[in-house]
A and B are shown apart, each in its own frame.
Chain A
């Protein structure tokens, strides 16, 4: 290693052969100037590539681009399905502004966009349009170069894992109705909210288009009141939805395409829990009307659909009276969903806040009994039906008319109403949906409380992969000791001496025929009998429309057993609307969405009436 000293003898003239040293350079390789195009390195940041199959059009790349180089372009013909979180938008890059920093690549939730190893592009002034490209997998010039800087675990800036939610363990929850989910603490909520990239897929997918990006952002900023304000723009049932919603938002979440979706439902719950009921009432009161219209609207059923309509109409200055047959409001959310999933005092908060706008709920008043539909039609300017689906269907198999065969909705209603039910020692539940899970897990708890052990069997036509219930419910039910037997078809409820003794089932070979119609086929050789002293049917529900009365039932139009309604949920009678589970259920957030629709329709109807008369 030749060192150079400042005491260099620069007087030294050197030897006469010194110039010959230069000859060595003839043998050396030049450093640069290859004749062939020079290939770029393996993780070079060249021009963009985008895999259109993987890209979902979430526009997160556009958000993180610091030079405003990305434009989102609508490409007709590409899949556009808000519920799956896919848009037909694709990014177009302006190379006059792009600096090739690859932040778009690192932040892309799906990993579709990448930078290639192509780096040469020339054009004349007249061809400047060539700087603005819509990259697909073939690159700027249509020559597919390899990917240079693509999605990589080391540089990935998306946080794929959700903040874990604390829940009661199976042992801790098996014999009580305590709420299973603990909720986030402020730290967890802020961290979880920070995972959101504000793409808005959740907003698209939500039936009532909740402003989830806005309230998630507000939670992240620590402003829970603003979050509540954003939540109430579209959903006055958020203590409820924050616990039991079917979270289409999370299905559509762009982070969920490769990682776990942002916990949008738990964040909604966090914001609603974090602000006191009094404060929420004050926030909601900001939208109190400054005048009253003098119009009166009757709503039958104080469930999510009915109360959402009531909330909206009250904000628009109309007088609203809600007739509720049960002693408390909430509909299926109180009388169908068990306490361990949705504590009723949380639901009470939602109802209290809605009532604080001046909505009057008359409990223990059954329309069709205590007051007729005709009376409502005469005393009110508009009427809405939101009576839900409260009649449980029966399989109709032999023995299903026994007194020890129950419908799940009836039992759940009694439990929620605080009534003591007969707890069976051995129960068999027919059905594989969420309601079946609810009754099975409720009975399991009651059995542990009464007998110290559980014996609940669930059978359903579907195999486990196609169960209609939420995967979480299936998992938790299994943890709690419920025996789940898929692909069994009920044939007979066996009775001995007038008492139910078991359920006889055959194996299911197929449920639907070639045309997709419901036509289950069984394997008669695969017969099993499950002992039980109570059989509960949870195979579906229908609406109780007896309240309409014979004349009105005759006058209205029906569509295969359900009331026929138009896009605004108006029946064929111009003063009557119907929405919620009875029309489009069963689903809470859909009912809320329906409720908004109905309120808008009623409001414009009432305004028109005002002008005309």
Chain B
């Protein structure tokens, strides 16, 4: 029975057999592999067949709109070698098509369906790419970076209208809502830079209920 160190070295050597691959070992149990999309299925078959990586833990997708690419990461775990290999590959954002690895790893079906639903990537050969979670959604794939879920919520839902007694009394005394709840969040709408500090704003005497949405500035 080989020791852990020998196995990892064997694995590192094995991987150098493949062309166009970049290997970086992050720790004894984590290996990162970057590979061209064309070569990925062969790598997966190799890892499953020869290197005992029988467990596909997950397929993750990351959207890089600035680079016009989707990054697909296949996380493989070997029970024998007790280490994880994450294979990263990048596909062009348009047309967003890739091969399915269902024939190598049956669990891929779920992840490919999930990624298809949320990112819009088509996996050729996947057994079922029908909608699963968002069955009544007809908008764009929502996990893409260009879909602003918060703006969608603002467009489709209203803030709750509150008008409690204490607020009415304060307004009568000359006070009222000074800073609305969504004005100073460190949300993705403002990164704190262009936002004037709280005091520079004129205190808003909101005579109506609080939280009524104004046009987002």
- Measured CB to CB, the residues of A under 8 A from B are 59, 62-66, 68-77, 82, 87-89, 92, 94, 96-97, 128-134, 198-201, 203-204, 209, 211, 213-214, 217-218, 221, 226
Contact call A199/B160, Cβ cutoff below 8 A: no
16 A–B contacts, CB within 8 A, in A order: A59-B198, A63-B184, A65-B185, A69-B181, A71-B177, A71-B211, A72-B198, A73-B176, A74-B170, A77-B173, A94-B162, A128-B160, A131-B160, A131-B162, A134-B170, A214-B193
* Chain B residues with CB below 8 A from A226, complex form: 193
Contact call A94/B160, Cβ cutoff below 8 A: yes
Contact call A72/B178, Cβ cutoff below 8 A: yes
Tell me how far the C-beta of B9 lies from the nearest C-beta in chain A, rounded to whole angstroms.
38
Judge if B199 is at the interface, Cβ distance under 8 Å.
yes
**Given contacts A71-B211, A82-B199, is CB(A59)–CB(B174) below 8 Å?**
no
Contact call A200/B199, Cβ cutoff below 8 A: yes
Q: How far is the CA of A89 from the CA of B193 in the complex (A)?
A: 23
* Chain A residues with CB below 8 A from B180, complex form: 71
Which of B130-183 touch A at CB < 8 Å?
A: 160, 162-167, 170, 173-182
Q: How far is the CA of A65 from the CA of B187 in the complex (A)?
A: 10
* Chain B residues with CB below 8 A from A198, complex form: 192, 197
Total number of A-B contacts with CB less than 8 angstroms?
Answer: 103
**Given contacts A96-B160, A132-B162, A134-B166, is CB(A74)–CB(B184) below 8 Å?**
no
**Given contacts A71-B210, A73-B175, A132-B210, is CB(A59)–CB(B160) below 8 Å?**
no
Contact call B198/A199, Cβ cutoff below 8 A: yes
Contact call A87/B199, Cβ cutoff below 8 A: yes
Q: How far is the CA of A130 from the CA of B167 in the complex (A)?
A: 11
* Chain B residues with CB below 8 A from A92, complex form: 167, 210
A65, A75, A130, A203: the one contacting B170 at CB < 8 Å is A75
A-B contact sample (8 more), CB < 8 A, given A73-B177, A199-B198: A63-B185, A69-B181, A73-B170, A82-B199, A94-B162, A129-B163, A132-B167, A133-B166
Q: How far is the CA of A218 from the CA of B194 in the complex (A)?
A: 11
A66, A68, A97, A130: the one contacting B164 at CB < 8 Å is A130
* Chain B residues with CB below 8 A from A218, complex form: 193
Judge if B203 is at the interface, Cβ distance under 8 Å.
yes
In this complex, which of A82, A132, A204 has the most chain B Cβ atoms within 10 angstroms of its Cβ?
A: A132
* Chain B residues with CB below 8 A from A128, complex form: 160, 162
Q: How far is the CA of A473 from the CA of B210 in the complex (A)?
A: 49
- Measured CB to CB, the residues of B under 8 A from A are 160, 162-167, 170, 173-182, 184-187, 192-193, 197-200, 203, 210-211
DSSP majority for the A interface?
mixed
Q: How far is the CA of A96 from the CA of B160 in the complex (A)?
A: 8
Contact call A214/B211, Cβ cutoff below 8 A: no
Contact call B164/A129, Cβ cutoff below 8 A: yes
* Chain B residues with CB below 8 A from A209, complex form: 200
**Given contacts A63-B185, A74-B176, is CB(A133)–CB(B197) below 8 Å?**
no
Contact call A74/B197, Cβ cutoff below 8 A: no
Tell me how far the C-beta of A128 lies from the nearest C-beta in chain B, rounded to whole angstroms.
7
Q: How far is the CA of A296 from the CA of B170 in the complex (A)?
A: 51
* Chain A residues with CB below 8 A from B186, complex form: 63-64
**Given contacts A62-B184, A94-B162, A129-B163, is CB(A74)–CB(B199) below 8 Å?**
no
In this complex, which of A62, A73, A130 has the most chain B Cβ atoms within 10 angstroms of its Cβ?
A: A73
Contact call A74/B178, Cβ cutoff below 8 A: yes
Tell me how far the C-beta of A249 lies from the nearest C-beta in chain B, rounded to whole angstroms.
11
Q: Which residue of A lies closest to B165 (CB)?
A: A129
Tell me how far the C-beta of A468 lies from the nearest C-beta in chain B, rounded to whole angstroms.
29
* Chain B residues with CB below 8 A from A131, complex form: 160, 162
Contact call B211/A76, Cβ cutoff below 8 A: no
Contact call B164/A214, Cβ cutoff below 8 A: no
Contact call A73/B197, Cβ cutoff below 8 A: no
Contact call A59/B184, Cβ cutoff below 8 A: yes
* Chain A residues with CB below 8 A from B165, complex form: 129
